[in-house]
Amino acid sequence: MHVKSLTLAAVGILWTGGWVLAREATEPVFESYVGEVMVKTLNVRSGPSTNYYVVTRLPEGARVRVVGEESGWLAVEPPRGCYSLIAAEYVDRGDGVNGVVNANRVRVRAGSDLSSHSYAVQLKLNRGALVKILGQADEQFLKIAPPAGANLWVSDEYLRRVSGDLLDAATESAVPEPGDKRAMASESLDDQEAVAEVFDRPLGFDSTFPVGGSAPPGEGEPGTAPGGVIAESEATAAAPQPRVIPADEYRAKLDTLDAELKAEMDKPLLRRDFATLLPRYRELAEQEVDTYTQAYAGVRIRQIEAANDVVEGLRRVRQLRDDIRTMRKTALSDRADLRPVPVRIEGGFDAEGELRPSALYNSPVGPRRYRLVDPASAPLRTLGYVEIPPESDIDVTDYLGRRVGVRASERVLQTGEVDLIAIYVASELVVLDRPEDELRKAPTAIEKTATAVKH
C-alpha cells in the first residue's frame, strides 16, 4: 500500500465485524484527569460499548483516573481489585509472583468475576515483558495485575472531572472488589437497556451485533476466552500439535451465514426460505471449540425458527384466502348461469309491492332504479328493483310510497358479489292501493281539525 499523505504517520486498523476504523497519528495527546462517579452504581466495562461485559461496579463518589475517550466512553485505569488474564503457557514463572512473557504478541484480556465470557483483548505483550501473577484463573489462564495500558471503560455521562491529581484513599477503598455484591443492588443509567450480559440478551436482526459481523470488537482474532482450547499467541509451539479447528474458522462460517441470512431477510416476506440456513447454524451451535459462536448460533436458530413460523402462518392464511376466492368465483359463475322463470302475478303483473327510493341506486349516473318492498314484512324485505328506462314517460313521483303492480318489458337477475335479486324493466306501473289502504292514508276528522287550527 502506498501512503501519499505526509500527515499520516501511522494508521491503526481495527476490525469490528465488517467496519474498519482508521486514526491519524497526529491526534492530540489526551491529558489524563481524575473523575468521580455521579450515580449510585456505575458499570465498568471491558470495552467502549454496552456490548462489552461488566468487569466491576463503582459506587457513587468513587474516583478513577481517566486516560482516554472514544465515542462517549472514557478509558480509565483499572480500579483496585481488577485483574487481567493471560495464557499460562506463555509466561515463565520465577518466584511464583513475578513472571516473564516468553512469546510475542501474547494477548492480555480483561478479567471479570461478573461475567464468564472474558473475551475482550486489552493489549498484547511481547517476549521479555514482566507481569505480576495474582493467581491461577483455570487450567490455561493466569490472573495478573493489569499491565500499563490495560484500560477499562465507563460512560462519560456518569463521571465528572474533579480537581486534584491524586485519587482520594477513602474513595478508593469504597471501590468494590470484583464480584462484590454491595454495588450490584441497582444498575446505573448507562446500562438500563443492557443489564444482561452479551450472551444472555436476545440478538435481534437489527441488534448491536450487526448481521454480517458476529464478534464484538477485538474478538475476531485468533484465541478464545478462558476455557477455550486454542493457543493464546501466534507463536508456534515447539512440539507438533494435533489439528484442531480454530475459533477463527467458526467465526468465518458465522459471518458467511449471517450475510446469507441478511440477504434472505431482504427478500419479500413470502419468498424467504430458511431451510438451508438452519442446519448450518445448528452445526455451529453444536461445536464446543468456540463458546461465543456456539451461543450466537443458538440465538440465531431461535430467531429463524420464530421468523419461519410467521412466514408459514402467512402462507397458510394466503392459501385459505385463495381457496375461498376460488370457491366464491365458482358459486358466482354457477349463479350467473341461472335464468329467471317468468311468473305472472294475478292481474297480469310481473311484480307487486310498495315502491320506494333506493339508497343503492341514487346516483344521477347509471340506471334509474327503485326498491320494491313487501310493506307487511318487518324489517322490510326487498322483492326486487324497478328500473325506469330512459325513454319511458313514467313519472315515478306519482308512485313512490304506494303499492303498485309492475308490468315489465324485461326481467333479469342481478348477480356478482351480491345475492340474486330480480330487476324489472318497467313498461307500466299501476297503483294498487286497496280501499282500506286509502282509508288508512286519509286524514281523520281530528287531524283535519288540527290542520284547520294551524291555518
| CATH number of the domain to which 126 belongs | 2.30.30.40
Please check whether residues 292 and 322 belong to one and the same domain.
yes
Q: Which of these three, 314, 337, 360, is where a domain ends? A: 337
What is the CB-side half-sphere exposure of residue 365 using CA atoms within 13 A? 0
Answer with the one of 315, 337, 359 that is the final residue of a domain: 337
Q: Assign residue 72 a region: left if phi > 0, alpha if psi is -120 to 50, beta otherwise?
A: left
Q: Is residue 331 part of a domain?
A: yes
Residues 380 and 427 both lie in one domain: yes
Are 221 and 169 part of one and the same domain?
A: no
What is the full per-residue pLDDT of the chain (455 aa) written as tens digits? 443 333 333 333 333 333 333 444 455 788 899 999 999 999 999 999 888 899 999 999 999 999 999 988 999 999 999 999 999 899 988 777 888 999 999 999 999 988 877 788 999 999 889 999 998 888 889 999 999 999 999 999 999 998 866 565 434 433 334 333 333 333 333 333 332 333 333 333 333 333 333 334 333 333 333 333 333 333 334 444 444 567 788 888 899 999 999 998 888 888 888 888 889 999 998 888 888 888 899 899 999 988 888 888 888 898 998 899 888 888 777 766 665 555 555 567 899 999 999 988 887 777 889 999 998 888 889 999 999 998 889 999 899 999 999 999 988 887 655 567 889 999 999 998 765 555 455 555 445 544 544 44
Q: Tell whether 207 is covered by a domain.
A: yes
Q: Do 303 and 255 share a structural domain? A: yes
Residues 264 and 389 in one domain: no
How far is residue 446 CA from its own chain's centroid?
A: 75
CA 323 to mean position of chain CA atoms: 32
**Strands, E, within 126-184: which ranges?**
130-136, 141-144, 152-155, 159-162
Q: What is the pLDDT of residue 8?
A: 36
- Note the pLDDT of residue 58: 93
How far is C-alpha 324 from the chain's CA centre?
32
Query: In this structure, are 178 and 209 located in the same domain?
Result: no
What are the backbone angles phi and psi of residue 75, rounded to the nearest 5°?
A: -85, 130
Residues 186 and 207 placed together within one structural domain of the fold: no
- Buried b / exposed e along 2-13 (16+ C-beta atoms within 10 A): eeeeeeeeeeee
46 and 136 share one domain:
yes
Residue 24's pLDDT is 44
Structural domain count of the chain: 3
Q: Are residues 208 and 315 in the same domain?
A: yes
H-assigned helices in 287-374? 291-336
Please tell me whether residues 329 and 364 are part of one structural domain. no
Does residue 391 belong to any structural domain of this protein?
yes
Domain span at 60: 33-191
Looking at residue 273, its pLDDT comes to 86
> What is the pTM for the complete model shown?
0.37
Instruction: Indicate whether 135 belongs to any domain.
Output: yes
In this structure, are 60 and 172 located in the same domain? Answer: yes
Residues 6+ apart with CB under 8 A from 409: 389, 425, 426, 427
Residues 268, 130 within the same domain: no
Q: How far is CA 149 from CA 8, 123, 125, 205, 242, in A?
A: 23, 7, 11, 35, 35
